A and B are shown apart, each in its own frame.
Chain A
Amino acid sequence: AQKVTQAQTEISVVEKEDVTLDCVYETRDTTYYLFWYKQPPSGELVFLIRRNSFDEQNEISGRYSWNFQKSTSSFNFTITASQVVDSAVYFCAPISRDSWGKFQFGAGTQVVVTP
């Protein structure tokens, strides 16, 4: 089973500022995947990124980037040059390869971007 901690309840920024969301997880699995999802006010979950446990290469995709540190069990997510449309709740979720589909979502971080 996994456990996820998203310590930041809410982050408020002004447009164009960068936002970094923290995620710390616990797992006993050797093979697992890490996800970030966005949930705008409409409620629908939007897939952002996925990372597997044996690939610690950090990447940038457009305005999104992530920092996966297996040694500290952290999977942080950054939005560069935030926009008002980025306002949403962001969830971090690890999933074991052996129990795929059974997400253990973190508590979520509310991001508020003001003009």
Chain B
Amino acid sequence: TQTVSQSDAHVTVFEGDSVELRCNYSYGGSIYLSWYIQHHGRGLQFLLKYYSGNPVVQGVNGFEAEFSKSDSSFHLRKASVHWSDSAVYFCAVSADSNYQLIWGSGTKLIIKP
């Protein structure tokens, strides 16, 4: 059984700060990992994904995520956040043997001016 954990329900930073949103998963086989963003009142939008190759993947709007097999993690990072990055961020995983996505509970990113 796959599980996804986003340990931080809320993260608050100042505009211009760097940020890391954490995602940990449990599964022993080949997996797909992705991040989605949900702005207030809107549907989820794809940010980036990883399956194999370079463990650091680049997404839209300056976001990147790094896969770590040893830590079972896929943390999302941004070097300098903008107020428009305020949103809820969801991590999702799926196994090669079962393509259904399992979603984390989301992390709300709050940007202070």
A associates with B = no
Binding site for A on B (CB under 8 A): none
